[in-house]
Amino acid sequence: MSERIEAEWLEAAPARAVTGMLEAAGFQAWFVGGCVRNALLGAPVSDLDLTTDARPERVVELARDAGLKPVPTGIDHGTVTVVAHGTPIEVTTFRRDVDTDGRRATVAFSDDIAEDAARRDFTMNALYADARGHVADPLGVGQADLAARRLSFIGDPHERIREDYLRILRFFRFHAWYGAPEGGIDPDGLAACAELAEGIGGLSRERVGAEMLKLMAADDPAPAVASMAMSGVLMRVLPGGASDPLSVLVHVEEEAGLDPDPIRRLALVGGDEVAERLRLSRAQAGALQALRDAQEAGWGPGELGYRLGRARALDVLALNAALSGREIDPVSRETALVGAAAALPVKAADLMPDFSGPALGEKLREIEARWIASGFTLERAELLS
């Protein structure tokens, strides 16, 4: 152990309660994966994962005896979620793979942290920290790879991917989030992803969609998505999708002060049946379709703001700017914001009883069109005269 992490979550009551419960009974307690990696990088930590040599049934007993709440979320695979002070912490027994089919693994419990590390995906994810923050690197390469922002599979990339084909998409997602841009993507890992890309077809669309949304939420996913396209992975996930304009969109977003938005970026990358292939939620699918419809409608900036609201209007302006290779025009942006704040001063009731039924709707649309064309300047009396 050559390094120590310092983090608020490590000193907080939930972490102390669960590690203390295990260590008091003579078991090991190691935080592992994302919480350790992100703590070493100084990045936010959202979930806490512990691993131990205690068997899952024993973890349940210890949690109950300590007055904590055990939830057997994946007990057959060694995982018990222990809720301590309102915080869920996943506690998983050391494991080694016995058999895999590319989607799920048959595991055996282990007492060896090195065996547990060897079955993980990337070297930077095989770092452990004890309750006092001391870091363990059982494979001997994880700390160096993380310091260099070098994403590497553990051992043979082909073997790791055959254990779970979702690791192909995780490879690109983790490179986008944690890889060093100047270092490029690992060539051995990329070659293995290209050779085994057909295995993506056996994954559930929910899992694929979750990975793609996380990838597209990175600050700059463009290099990773370009590598996906080059390796043939992108066409497996989004047939007809294009990676080329994404780097321009990221630049446009930065200049415009827009936060990363996976739906905006998916709208640009495009492809066939995106919502269905990625099993997007109803809200996500609706937002994606709204962006595409707005682009096809050809509305001006003011009408974009009026019909879509501020956020989605700026999304469309960013998409159009990226496709034309330029930044968002300041005047167009301001016009869109004006439209987003505007409210049609004429209501249907103002036109009755002179108009009713389809004629009423047609007249209201005609008034709305004149009002939009005026730059939202015509007032109620002018629109009704």
Residue 110 to residue 112: CA distance in whole angstroms: 6
Same domain, 133 and 14: yes
- Final residue of a structural domain among 91, 118, 148: 148
Same domain, 119 and 16: yes
Share of the chain above pLDDT 90, in %: 92
pLDDT tens digits for range 295-321: 999 899 999 999 999 999 999 999 999
- Final residue of a structural domain among 148, 170, 187: 148
Report which of 111, 29, 109, 14 is spatially closest to residue 66, judged by C-alpha positions.
14
Q: How many CB atoms lie within 10 A of CB 173?
A: 24
Same domain, 350 and 333: no
Same domain, 229 and 256: no
pLDDT tens digits for range 212-256: 999 999 999 999 999 999 999 999 999 999 999 999 999 999 999
pLDDT score for 2: 63
Residue 336: is its pLDDT beyond 70? yes
366 token code pair: 């005609």
Residue 142 to residue 32: CA distance in whole angstroms: 12
Same domain, 74 and 6: yes
- Cα angle value 367/372/376 (rounded, 5°): 105
What is the count of structural domains for the chain?
A: 4
pLDDT tens digits for range 162-191: 999 999 999 999 999 999 988 899 999 999
Q: Is the peptide bond before 353 cis (omega within 30 degrees of 0)?
A: yes
Sign of the dihedral defined by the CA atoms of residues 374, 375, 380, 381, in that order: negative
Query: Do 266 and 288 touch, CB atoms closer than 8 A?
Result: yes
Residue pointed to by tokens 């190691």: 30
**CATH code, 224:** 1.10.3090.10
pTM here is 0.89
- In this prediction, residue 385 has a pLDDT band, given cuts at 50, 70 and 90, of confident
pLDDT score for 294: 95
Residue 98: is its pLDDT beyond 70? no
Residue 358 to residue 96: CA distance in whole angstroms: 68
- Final residue of a structural domain among 237, 257, 277: 237
Same domain, 143 and 166: no
Same domain, 12 and 78: yes
16 token code pair: 């102390």
In sequence order, what are the residues at sequence separation of 6 or more whose Cβ sits closer than 8 angstroms to the Cβ of residue 95?
A: 77, 78, 107, 108, 109, 110, 115, 116, 119
**CATH code, 99:** 3.30.460.10
Report which of 22, 16, 15, 19 is spatially closest to residue 58, judged by C-alpha positions.
22
Range of the domain at 270: 241-342
Tell me the pairing of strands 30-32 and 48-52.
antiparallel
